[in-house]
Amino acid sequence: MPLDIGILLSACLVGYALGALSFTRFIVHIIAPKTDLRMSACRSRGLPNQCTCTPSARIPPDSSWGQSGGLIGVLDIFKVFLPTLAFRLLFPGQPYHLFTALFAIVGHDWPIYYRFKGGRGISATYGGLLAIDWLGATITSLGGMGSAYFYCATSPIFSQSVCC
């Protein structure tokens, strides 16, 4: 069955529009309203930089910014997971959900709302993979964590410097 161009375009637009929402910016605006992430030393606004790249001089020391990284990561996962799953369930046997996930990741990485300066797409990619194949995404993640643990536990050279 050929793809319907209208559904395909709507899947791409929905994915991009939702992927381009920056929960990092929303949460930082709530926690520290005077913080301007554009003034941060980091080029990426994604989850790995939540605690390390926040301009600490502009955030009060007693703020809960350091504890918001997990929330931002989960929200970034769900902003891709939910529309991808919706298109997968609405159109079974059709690849529309793949386009939704792809364009959500593109929107996360290059959001039009923020002059094409977004995150790295790690959480967004994970959200798309969970909707496409939750078992494969889970096994891959566990395998990666297990191999990193094994590597760090057995490597005398990198155990102190790389594997904190």
User: Is 128's pLDDT higher than 80?
Assistant: yes
User: Is 158's pLDDT higher than 80?
Assistant: no
Helix residue ranges, H only, the chain: 5-19, 23-31, 69-90, 96-109, 122-132, 134-154
pLDDT in tens, 55-110: 333 334 445 555 677 788 889 999 999 999 999 999 999 999 999 999 999 999 99
Rg of the chain, C-alpha, whole Å: 18
Q: How much is the average pLDDT of 4-12?
A: 95
Token pair recorded at residue 31: 């926690």
Q: Torsions phi, psi of 34, nearest 5?
A: -90, 0
Q: How much is the average pLDDT of 45-59?
A: 43
Q: What is the pLDDT at residue 99? A: 97
Identify the H or E element spanning 46.
none
Q: How much is the average pLDDT of 3-14?
A: 95
Higher-scoring residue by pLDDT: 111, 50: 111
